[in-house]
Chain A
Amino acid sequence: MNIVACVKQVPDTEALIKVKPDGTGIDEGGIKWVMNPYDEFGVEEALKLKEAQGGEVTVVSAGPARAMESIRTALAMGAEKGVHICDAALDNADEYNTAAALAAAIKEINPDIIFCGQRAIDDDSAQVGSILAELLGIPVVTIVTKFDPEDGKIKVIKPIEGAQLVIESTLPCVVTAQKGLNEPRYASLPGIMKAKKKPVDVKDAAALGISIEPKARLAKMTPPPERAPGKIIAGDDPAAKAAELVKLLREEAKVI
């Protein structure tokens, strides 16, 4: 099977995020960059599929020069090759244009299946996988917690509010991975060494034949809104404090 896994490099979840004074974005100084956690589930499922059915996994990423590290991580996990879409014009591209760049690169690969993370933990948009599918004219199943390939199709489980759906899709398709799909493997030391020699094509927008047509823009980034300061209920007696809390919740907050 010809398999693609998309990855994005994002700030580590522990990273202290500061908004630039001009509100145009975050201050990237001192940030530790990692592969988007949800993309790890996608890479792992891609590798499991390859191991079960044969074939190869190409990892594709759109991002600045540093994104190469995340591509190498996926290669170290076991992917065979990579494509790095690297172009300054794409650095702050919106979701649609990011998906368009990925689509242009992936069209050339013509895969049977594409794995993405269900969302990136920096923008938290959860759009690119779905838009990618639209641009490639293939179906998408999002937020998948179980994946089973069958003859010429796939069967997945997708949790919704109060239920789980069992969904079948034709191939090729895009699957976006949710936590619980699998346990991503750690890259072994031999894997890391081998990864250095695996081929990664670097392409810019011109090479992919795409032009960027912005659709959504970040007009301003701000720190989170402040919550009004709360009160610590004073006292030493748990029962008395509990009684005071219930009184406040009923009379002041009016939530019970």
Chain B
Amino acid sequence: MAKGVWIVAEQRDGALRKVSFEIASAARKLADDLGDEVCAVLVGSGVEGLAPELAKYGVDKVYVADDAVFADYTTDGYSAAVAKVVKENDAAILLLGSSVQGKDLSASLAGKLATGLASDCVEVSIADGKLLALRPMYAGKCFGEIVIDTTPQMAALRPNVFAMVENAKAGEVVKFDAGVAAGDLKTTVVETQKDTSGKVDLTEANAIVSGGRGMKGPEGYAILEELADVLGAAVGASRAAVDAGWRPQSDQVGQTGKVVSPNLYIACGISGAIQHLAGMSSSKYIVAVNKDEEAPIFAKADYGIVDDLFKVVPEITAEAKKIL
């Protein structure tokens, strides 16, 4: 019978990414509800030493595939390794983070394991002994409760939504041979072009200050950059601003941009079209600054200021400077 709540830990440049601890914590809770254990799969090169960090967040066993062939993430390499160990151990549940890598890896694994996968989940629980996953659909205009009828039951969890809960377990390391040789790989990473701006990726930012059509042009973003600086936040943009050429595509938050879930999202001059909400409705706290009191964003905001953002935002910066 299938057993074990498994996760695929995500590491990069020798460190585990935060989402690994989020999914470990979520897995721990599911395992406790089932009376089962949490197993992590850790694939990489020179990564065995990361296992104790996973143990801290409730992982009982860490299955490690450590080989130079895994130095860079490749879909084919990593999915072969994970599929092998998960199949051999007849995992009941398999969780990944819905990061860029996790989205890619989880989908290929669903194909390899011929199983169902609930993508970009905001909640997981056990109902009648099975995984029940809740996920936004139609750009968050509705939500779906998904049940997987095959094993492993797979779910990819949205980053920054699930709490990291420390719960020290053994984290026993079990090394396994993934059976992947360099010659087997059909894709190769030829180059990694790191973003040198020093900016935090929007999907990983704890706070975001975002601007829309109301910014009136690229120069308007200077006041958002100042506020972001003081708050240690990243700067985002709505589609209108990106389409107008004021901000790059990589800054776009929304249905055809990035999905973000920061602790704080400050929307300035953004009306709150449903396509924008699709990208930020997971934010813990939403602030809206807009001179149009009818703007739909106010219905979603925890705090709103109806006023000219060019007057208000610099004042917020000044006030924040006093206490930060």
Contact = CB atoms under 8 A, between A and B. Distances in A.
A161 B258 CA distance: 11
B207 to A, nearest CB: 7
Q: How large is the interface on A (under 10, 10 to 19, 20 to 34, 35 or more residues)?
A: 35 or more
B204 A161 contact: yes
A222 B192 contact: no
A96 interface: yes
Interface stretch (A58-66, A70-78, A185-193, A235-243): A235-243
A123 interface: yes
Contacts of B319: 242-243, 245-246
A166 B231 contact: no
Interface string B109-143: 01110111111100000000000100111111111
Nearest to B185: A139
Contact of A232 (B263, B300, B305): B305
Given A168-B188, A224-B142, A230-B298, A241 B305 contact: yes
Contacts of B149: 214-217
A248 B305 CA distance: 12
B303 interface: yes
Contacts of B256: 13, 37, 121, 179
B304 A232 contact: yes
Nearest to A166: B191
B117 A162 contact: no
Given A95-B110, A126-B103, A256-B320, A227 B300 contact: yes
B68 interface: no
A140 B142 contact: no
B100 A230 contact: no
A80 interface: no
B104 interface: yes
A143 B145 contact: no
Given A216-B117, A221-B137, A139 B187 contact: yes
B144 A13 contact: no
Contacts, number: 252
Nearest to B233: A256
A78 to B, nearest CB: 23
A162 B201 contact: yes
Given A121-B139, A241-B307, A141 B75 contact: yes
Interface stretch (A106-114, A130-138, A196-204): A130-138
B33 interface: no
A168 B76 CA distance: 12
A168 B72 CA distance: 13
B113 to A, nearest CB: 9
Interface in B189-245: 189-195, 200-201, 203-204, 207, 231
Contact of A13 (B100, B103, B255, B307): B255
Nearest to B155: A216
A93 B203 CA distance: 30
A173 interface: yes
Interface SS, A side: mixed
B305 A245 contact: yes
B312 A167 contact: no
Interface string A164-181: 111111100100000110
B34 interface: no
A242 B305 contact: yes
A219 B144 CA distance: 8
B187 A249 contact: no
Given A166-B193, A216-B117, A249 B141 contact: no
Interface in A79-115: 94-96, 99
Contacts of B261: none
A143 B142 contact: no
A139 B76 CA distance: 7
Contacts of B293: 232
Interface string B69-92: 000000110000000000000000
A220 B257 CA distance: 27
B311 A238 contact: yes
Nearest to A248: B303
Nearest to B201: A161
Given A95-B110, A230-B298, A232-B298, A222 B193 contact: no
A167 B315 CA distance: 46
Contacts of A180: 249
B142 A19 contact: yes
A163 interface: yes
19 contacts: A13-B139, A13-B255, A96-B115, A121-B139, A121-B256, A127-B110, A130-B107, A140-B108, A143-B100, A163-B195, A167-B188, A168-B188, A217-B147, A221-B145, A224-B136, A232-B304, A238-B308, A238-B315, A249-B264
Given A162-B200, A232-B306, 20 more contacts: A11-B138, A13-B275, A26-B142, A95-B117, A125-B119, A132-B111, A133-B108, A143-B103, A163-B195, A170-B187, A216-B146, A216-B147, A216-B148, A217-B149, A227-B300, A230-B286, A233-B303, A238-B305, A243-B319, A249-B287
Interface of B: 75-76, 99-101, 103-104, 106-108, 110-112, 114-120, 132, 135-150, 186-195, 200-201, 203-204, 207, 231, 249-250, 255-257, 263-264, 274-275, 281, 284-287, 293, 298, 300-308, 311-312, 315-316, 318-320, 323-324
Q: Which 3 A-B pairs have the closest CB atoms?
A: A134-B111, A216-B116, A242-B315
